[in-house]
Chain A
Amino acid sequence: MVSLIRYASGYVQFCAEGGFPERFLNLCKINGISLWNIKNDGVKVEACTSATEFKNIAKPAKNSGMTIKIIKNKGIPFWAKRHRWRCGAVFGVVMSICLIWYMSGFIWEIEIVEEDGVKINNFTQTLAELGVRPGARKSKIEIIDVQEKLLAAYPELSWVSLNIFGDKAQIEYTPSTPAPEVTDTKTPSNIVAAKSGKITLVEGYGGTNAVKEGAFVAEGSLLISGIKTNADGSEGLTRARGKVFARTENKITAEKSEKEKVLMTLQTEKRYGVDLFGLNIPLGFKPEGEIYSCTGISLKSKSTVLPVGVTREEGVSLNKIQIEYTVEEILLLNLLSCVEEKREFYSEADISSVKFAENKGENSSILTMSIICVENIALEKPVFVEEN
């Protein structure tokens, strides 16, 4: 500790030759000059004294006939004097320390922990609107306020937690479990046929079955009645529930013109930019185009995302040109239209046969697809009761 203080204040190591060493030491003591590491080898006396007290050593040395020679100057004052022309380096060190201290007050990484892999749309954008984004000041983020606003913005979340670790903001959330659907058994309704067909299977869960297997029904016919007969012979209304499977025939038609305008991309413009601590520096003019997209890549240090990266903006200009389809292309496009129209519906139906018929129109081709399948034709229709 004493050595540290001496080094911080600066000291001089000197040697004194000739004269009377003992008298020199006594005169230094009388004049209040503190000496240490005093060595006397019979020829010269070596000692150390502080830089400020060394200025007063000339008089005791002269009075004792000693010649003083400086061996070494040590300490911060002497070091600073030797490097006084390198103040820029010191300034740089001080500025870098200040810059690191200042930059550590910002958030540079956002980590979203999704429970069970459930992703929320536009979550990052909502966070940015609430002030949690790369480059935001940590002291300006009200954690509890952000958590409450996130829960209000996303009712599908049951719990949200925002934690700030250093320069990283970590958001964890848990999706809520939806309440099970309560079956409504009180509203009276009937089950009617959504399509015409031949009944193959009747599964009634509530109400009274009005048709049997093998019967032909027209669209709108009653399949399961909402009128039930009680044990005492009285009748009442209930909600009819069930599935009624019938063999139906369906036709889907698609038409395609032989000459059709198709959009094709002709020109793509790109612009790169540097993303530095939340500040995006573009390198060029903004790309023009009808379709605009922006992507970015950030540097990573192991698992830590650094606030430095490259962004790329792309603009696509579209130009409509007219092309002529071949016969095979028209057929395929018509087939695709037919399939896409009711893809989800027919994925649940049991298709037994499919027939295609192609007709030529004026500068167009018409494809008709006939499907025979077994499907659920039950359609619930509420019954409105007038109260007297």
Chain B
Amino acid sequence: MKRNPLKNVSENINNCAIELFADSRVIVTDCKCVIDYSDEHIVLNLGRLNLKITGKNLVADSFVFGQTDIKGKIEKLEFV
């Protein structure tokens, strides 16, 4: 049986939503907390999975009530 690589993602993200606007902005809804934060990478906890955003000049334009708005030059999005 072919393994669906996105299966764990859909099961573990629950109500989290990730909106990607080209490579300059990403909005993550219902993230639990911030694991790591710097100019070049931001790691957000979405429940059982973590979302790592890699790029340059990353800035959290908004961090309120579980919605995180991150702007900058986004190079990579990973689930870790």
On A, residues with C-beta under 8 Å from B are 21-22, 25-26, 28-29, 32, 34-42, 45, 47
* Total number of B residues with any Cβ neighbor in A under 8 Å: 16
Q: Which of B36, B59, B64, B65 is in CB contact (< 8 Å) with A39? A: B59
In order of increasing CB-CB distance, the 8 nearest A-B pairs are: A34-B64, A38-B60, A26-B33, A22-B34, A35-B63, A25-B34, A36-B62, A40-B37
Q: Which of B35, B59, B65 is in CB contact (< 8 Å) with A22? A: B35
Cβ A26 vs Cβ B65 within 8 A? no
Task: Give A24 Cβ to nearest chain B Cβ, in Å.
Answer: 9
- How many residue pairs at the A-B interface have CB separations less than 8 Å? 52
Chain A residues whose CB sits within 8 angstroms of the CB of B12 once the complex forms: none
Interface membership of B61, Cβ < 8 A: yes
CA distance A25 to B38 in the complex (A): 12
Q: Is the interface of A mostly helix, strand, loop or mixed?
A: mixed
What 1/0 mask marks residues of chain B from 13 to 35 whose CB sits below 8 Å from any chain A CB? 00000000000000000000111
Please, which residue of chain B has its CB at the minimum distance from the CB of A34? Answer: B64
Chain B residues whose CB sits within 8 angstroms of the CB of A32 once the complex forms: 65
What 1/0 mask marks residues of chain B from 43 to 61 whose CB sits below 8 Å from any chain A CB? 0000000000000000111
Chain B residues whose CB sits within 8 angstroms of the CB of A38 once the complex forms: 37, 59-61, 63
On B, residues with C-beta under 8 Å from A are 33-39, 59-66, 69
Cβ B59 vs Cβ A37 within 8 A? yes
14 more CB-based (< 8 A) A-B contacts, given A29-B64, A34-B62, A34-B64: A22-B34, A22-B37, A25-B33, A25-B60, A28-B63, A32-B65, A34-B63, A34-B65, A35-B63, A36-B63, A37-B59, A38-B61, A39-B39, A41-B39
Q: Which of A21, A29, A40, A45 is in CB contact (< 8 Å) with B65? A: A29
CA distance A45 to B63 in the complex (A): 13
CA distance A21 to B39 in the complex (A): 13
